[in-house]
């Protein structure tokens, strides 16, 4: 479901029309640096409890016929039953057991009757559940696939005939409908309806059997029936959904009408009136006006859904081809959700010497055992964690937030000192005992080098990526990118302004000076130990202004270096950085480049630039005090923001709002924070087969993308340098969910929003 646009009230109150100007004046009054949150922006959205959904997988017989679940039901006591290819199972706590007396073979349906009895349809007839187990109904002698209930009692239908229960006795009834029975529904005021593989039949009160005309259905291969709370009959088929009143069609849902998948297998109305639709691509839900989808291993053991039952507590029990999935919910505030994510981050995602990034589970079903992973962007994400904990400290004055921020800063500082150089910064560092790094040293033959440079003349051959530290305890990785430096500088700025004590502020000053002096003295490139620029660490006028192969990076890299210099001047007070800043603007046109601060051609755009602008924006815009330059940079920044404002990113939105931007989509940002799943594993999420979206080649040329923005619960776990429009997302190298995100993508904008006053404290 596409979140509704934010309202004018919640985005920008009338009194905040001049919010950008007010924040800029606050910067001028207080001096450069991160501005205090504007008073009129505080508590714009109250943090009230909301229903947070989560998935509990409950396989019955992993790899066996018991996981081939055909139907599921919750009886009056809340006990869950499953009909499977291996028979009937009952859930006790978290364990499935087969009750005695059940069928020795497949079961097809489980039906809780109105009198609280429970019935099972099986290959050899009908079974009744009782305290001692299951009892076979001897009068029913054939295969039964569908159970229902009419005024007389229980009805059993299947390929071998039909049977009616009346006053505790069973008898065969005449069949004048197709024996390819798929479902049945009964209401005293609407009659008895039967869905078959060849159409829809109605049994009227006067006994007439009528078949609905084929042209009244989207497809005659029917698979499910259900009466809604308002008495309308919902008909699920291979082609979608029809809605009838009596025999009269009144509505239809296909992909064009928002139904995510047209292969409808089951229909279930919850007590809240929501319709749960089991499909070949997960569970689709209709809340009355909008559709949503629960699919992928994040939500279901299999997207091949056969049935859905709603328990007394509102849990949705989903029968799939690989077991039963429970979609549960709990009441949470955003503050509680932040505490949940932080706990996960601290438990599994902080590794020595304090770096923060992903982890991997050897077994995705057991999150108690994990191992840390290295990544090219360990420095950047640790810096974003540093900023997040600095914002948290500014809001809460929490001692542990301060301690976490200090540790993260020390880790970033170590990435510089571990290199044994005066200024170079490592991408990441691992203990010398590690052997399974993500990107090992390699020997590159001249032929292979030519192959790699064929379409990328700038490709730099780096055979020795990892080097030992002087003490022999660590391996550090070189060829550091501009992304890493941008992340570092962003983290230093936020930490310096909001969380660092005097001793740590001195350390920040010295570290920033070393890094920036190295870049300036190196000719505005980041020089590795070989004396040459790293592949991506280039901000020099010679390359950006005169080398055609750097044309695409010219705007973003110009914006970055101006941000670094402004940040360095703010932190150190050294006028050298202000002098270099002015030289790049006055002699090399960097302000002109930064006025449109990213590439925007269809084949040139990348979301990496969007994240880099969010990181670099505060350093430049919060520290530029010249009104003309500030206005110019802010106009360019707003131009860039308008290219991502439809992407539901609270990080981009709140950064823009904190810098003084208006119309920053606050409601959509809070909706994102609420809708993001608790499960941060990078399950593969494939939206390409959906019938309610179209695949397009924009806003980027690659990859294939959806024509509308899907909510976070229907996409893979985000990083802000990834394309949220991508039709396929997640970790495609490991679709079993063994890789887990650290959660900083969520925590950083949440605490930024709390600091800025966009989100209130938990209620």
pLDDT in tens, 19-55: 333 443 344 333 456 655 544 444 489 999 999 999 9
Digit-coded pLDDT (tens) for 648-658? 999 999 999 99
pLDDT at 692: 97
Q: Which of 162-171, 448-457, 504-513, 552-561 has the lowest mean pLDDT?
A: 448-457
118-122 β-sheet, strand order: 107-112, 118-122, 125-130, 133-136
Digit-coded pLDDT (tens) for 522-532? 999 999 999 99
Write the CA distances from 8 to 116, 634, 644, 664, 671, integer angstroms. Answer: 51, 22, 19, 10, 16
| φ, ψ at 518 (rounded to 5°) | -65, -40
Write the CB contacts of 29 (distance below 8 Å, at least 6 apart in sequence): none
CB 91 within 8 Å of CB 82: yes
pLDDT at 466: 96
323: helix, coil or strand?
Answer: strand
Write the CA distances from 624 to 243, 592, 595, integer angstroms. Answer: 61, 15, 14
pLDDT, averaged across the chain: 92
Q: Tell me the C-alpha distance between 185 and 225, whole Å.
A: 6
> Which uninterrupted H or E stretch holds 11?
helix 8-11
Percentage of the chain beyond pLDDT 70 is: 94
Of residues 441 and 586, more confidence is placed in: 586
Residue matched to tokens 């229902």: 148
pLDDT at 7: 31
Write the CA distances from 363 to 66, 379, 628, integer angstroms. Answer: 22, 27, 57
Kindly report the number of other CB atoms within 10 A of residue 344's CB atom. 17
Q: Tell me the C-alpha distance between 427 and 408, whole Å.
A: 15
**Summary count for the chain: helices (H), strands (E):** 17, 44
Q: Which of 62-76, 277-291, 318-332, 449-463 has the lowest mean pLDDT?
A: 449-463
pLDDT at 102: 96
Tokens at residue 445, please?
């033959």
Q: Tell me the C-alpha distance between 335 and 49, whole Å.
A: 9
Beta bridge partners, 533, equal 527
CB 382 within 8 Å of CB 744: no
Digit-coded pLDDT (tens) for 456-511? 999 898 999 999 999 999 999 999 999 999 999 999 999 999 999 999 999 999 99
Task: Please give the domain boundaries of the chain with CATH numbers for all domains.
Answer: 1-49+333-343+662-763 (no CATH), 68-329 (2.130.10.10), 375-538 (no CATH)
CA max distance for the chain:
97
Q: In 3D, which of 242, 268, 296, 251 has the Cα closest to residue 55? A: 296
Calculate mean pLDDT across residues 607-632: 97
| Angle in degrees, 0-180, between the axes of helices 334-348 and 744-756, rounded to the nearest 10 | 140
pLDDT at 211: 85
CB 653 within 8 Å of CB 665: yes
CB 603 within 8 Å of CB 701: yes
| φ, ψ at 655 (rounded to 5°) | -60, -45
Radius of gyration of the chain from its Cα atoms, rounded to whole angstroms: 31
pLDDT at 338: 98
Calculate mean pLDDT across residues 525-540: 97
In terms of Cβ atoms closer than 10 Å to its own Cβ (0-12, 13-18, 19+), residue 93 is exposed
CB 640 within 8 Å of CB 652: no
Write the CB contacts of 454 (distance below 8 Å, at least 6 apart in sequence): none
| φ, ψ at 106 (rounded to 5°) | -65, 145
CB 10 within 8 Å of CB 666: yes
Q: How confident is the model at residue 209 (pLDDT cuts 50, 70, 90)?
A: confident
| Angle in degrees, 0-180, between the axes of helices 650-658 and 607-621, rounded to the nearest 10 | 20
pLDDT at 28: 37
Tokens at residue 507, please?
């350390």
CB 201 within 8 Å of CB 213: no
CB 704 within 8 Å of CB 695: yes
pLDDT at 693: 97
pLDDT at 32: 54
What is 593-649 written as a DSSP string?
HHTS-S--STTT--HHHHHHHHHHHHHHHTT---HHHHHHHHHHHHHHHHTTGGG--
In terms of Cβ atoms closer than 10 Å to its own Cβ (0-12, 13-18, 19+), residue 192 is buried
pLDDT at 212: 84
What is 158-196 written as a DSSP string?
ETTEEEEEETTEEEEE---S-S-EEEEEEETTTEEEEEE
Of residues 223 and 32, more confidence is placed in: 223
Residue matched to tokens 């990107």: 439
Q: In 3D, which of 52, 42, 4 has the Cα closest to residue 648? A: 4
Tokens at residue 742, please?
């650290």
The set of long-range contacts for 27-35, using a CB threshold of 8 Å and a minimum separation of 24, is 27/622, 27/623, 27/625, 28/625, 32/566, 32/569, 32/570, 32/622, 32/623, 32/625, 33/493, 33/496, 33/497, 33/570, 33/622, 33/623, 34/493, 34/494, 34/497, 34/498, 34/618, 34/622, 35/622, 35/658
Q: How confident is the model at residue 247 (pLDDT cuts 50, 70, 90)?
A: confident
Write the CA distances from 706 to 53, 686, 696, integer angstroms. Answer: 24, 11, 6
CB 170 within 8 Å of CB 137: yes
Q: What is the pTM of this model?
A: 0.93
Calculate mean pLDDT across residues 730-747: 88
Beta bridge partners, 318, equal 308, 325
Calculate mean pLDDT across residues 742-762: 97
| φ, ψ at 457 (rounded to 5°) | -60, -20
Digit-coded pLDDT (tens) for 329-377? 999 999 999 999 999 999 999 999 999 999 999 988 889 999 999 999 9
| Angle in degrees, 0-180, between the axes of helices 627-642 and 650-658, rounded to the nearest 10 | 160
Q: In 3D, which of 759, 761, 750 has the Cα closest to residue 342? A: 750
pLDDT at 12: 30
């Amino acid at each position: 479901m596409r979140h509704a646009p934010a309202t004018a009230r919640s985005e920008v109150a009338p009194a905040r029309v001049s919010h950008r100007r007010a924040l800029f004046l606050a910067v001028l009054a207080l001096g450069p640096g991160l501005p205090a949150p504007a008073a009129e922006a505080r508590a714009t959205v109250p943090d009230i409890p909301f229903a947070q959904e989560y998935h509990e997988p409950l396989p019955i017989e992993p790899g066996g016929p018991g996981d081939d679940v055909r139907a599921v039901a919750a009886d009056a006591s809340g006990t869950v039953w499953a009909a499977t290819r291996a028979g009937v199972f009952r859930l006790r706590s978290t364990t499935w057991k087969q009750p005695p007396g059940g069928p020795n073979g497949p079961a097809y349906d489980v039906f809780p009757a109105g009198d609280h009895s429970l019935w099972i349809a099986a290959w050899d007839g009908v079974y009744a559940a009782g305290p001692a187990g299951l009892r076979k109904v001897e009068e029913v002698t054939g295969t039964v696939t569908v159970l229902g209930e009419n005024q007389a009692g229980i009805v059993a239908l299947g390929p071998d005939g039909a049977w009616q229960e009346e006053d505790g006795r069973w008898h065969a009834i005449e069949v004048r409908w197709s024996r390819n029975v798929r479902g049945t529904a009964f209401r005293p005021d609407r009659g008895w309806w039967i869905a078959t593989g060849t159409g829809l039949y109605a049994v009227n009160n006067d006994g007439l059997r009528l078949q609905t005309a084929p042209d009244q259905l989207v497809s005659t291969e029917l698979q499910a029936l259900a009466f809604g709370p308002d008495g309308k009959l919902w008909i699920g088929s291979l082609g979608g959904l029809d809605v009838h009143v009596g025999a009269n069609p009144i509505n239809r849902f296909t992909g064009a009408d928002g139904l995510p998948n047209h292969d409808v297998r089951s229909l279930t109305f919850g007590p809240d009136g929501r319709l749960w639709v089991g499909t070949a691509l997960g569970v689709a839900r209709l809340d009355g006006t909008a559709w949503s989808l629960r699919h992928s291993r994040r939500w279901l053991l299999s997207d091949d859904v056969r049935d859905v039952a709603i328990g007394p507590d509102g849990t949705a029990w989903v029968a799939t081809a690989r077991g039963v999935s429970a979609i549960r919910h709990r009441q949470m505030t955003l503050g509680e959700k932040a505490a949940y994510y932080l706990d996960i981050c601290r438990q599994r995602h902080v590794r020595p010497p304090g770096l923060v990034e992903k982890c991997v589970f050897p077994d995705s079903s057991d999150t108690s055992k994990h191992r840390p992973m290295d990544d090219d962007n360990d420095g950047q994400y640790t810096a974003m964690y540093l900023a997040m904990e600095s914002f948290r400290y500014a809001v809460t004055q929490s001692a542990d937030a301060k301690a976490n921020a200090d540790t993260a800063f020390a880790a970033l500082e170590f990435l510089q000192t571990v290199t044994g150089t005066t200024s170079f910064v490592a991408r990441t560092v691992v203990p010398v005992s590690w052997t399974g790094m993500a990107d090992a040293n390699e020997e590159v033959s001249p032929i292979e080098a030519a192959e790699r440079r064929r379409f990328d003349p700038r490709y730099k051959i780096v055979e020795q990526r990892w080097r030992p530290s002087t003490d022999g305890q660590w391996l550090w990785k070189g060829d550091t990118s501009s992304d890493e430096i941008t992340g570092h500088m962003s983290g230093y700025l936020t930490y310096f302004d909001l969380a660092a004590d005097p001793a740590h502020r001195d350390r920040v000053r010295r570290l920033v000076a070393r890094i920036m002096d190295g870049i300036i003295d190196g000719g505005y490139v980041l020089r590795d130990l070989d004396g040459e620029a790293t592949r991506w660490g280039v901000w020099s006028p010679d390359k950006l202004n005169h080398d055609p192969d750097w044309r695409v990076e010219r705007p973003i890299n110009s914006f970055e270096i101006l941000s670094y210099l402004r940040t360095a001047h703010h932190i150190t007070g050294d006028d050298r950085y202000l002098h270099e800043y002015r030289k790049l603007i006055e002699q090399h046109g960097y302000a002109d480049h930064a006025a449109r601060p990213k590439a925007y051609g269809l084949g040139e755009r990348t979301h990496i630039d969007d994240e880099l602008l969010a990181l670099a924006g505060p350093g430049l815009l919060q520290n530029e005090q010249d009104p003309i330059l500030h206005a110019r940079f802010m106009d360019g920044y707003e131009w860039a923001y308008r290219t991502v404002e439809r992407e539901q990113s609270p990080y981009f939105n709140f950064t823009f709002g904190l810098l003084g931007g208006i119309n920053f989509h606050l409601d959509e940002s809070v909706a994102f924070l609420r809708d993001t799943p608790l499960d941060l594993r990078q399950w593969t999420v494939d939206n390409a087969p959906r019938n309610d979206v179209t695949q397009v080649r924009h806003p980027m040329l690659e990859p294939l993308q959806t024509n509308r923005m899907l909510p976070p619960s229907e996409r893979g776990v985000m990083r802000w340098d990834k394309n949220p429009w991508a039709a396929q997302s997640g970790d495609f190298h490991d679709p079993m969910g063994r890789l887990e995100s650290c959660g900083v993508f969520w925590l950083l904008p949440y605490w930024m929003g709390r600091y800025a006053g966009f989100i209130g404290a938990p209620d």
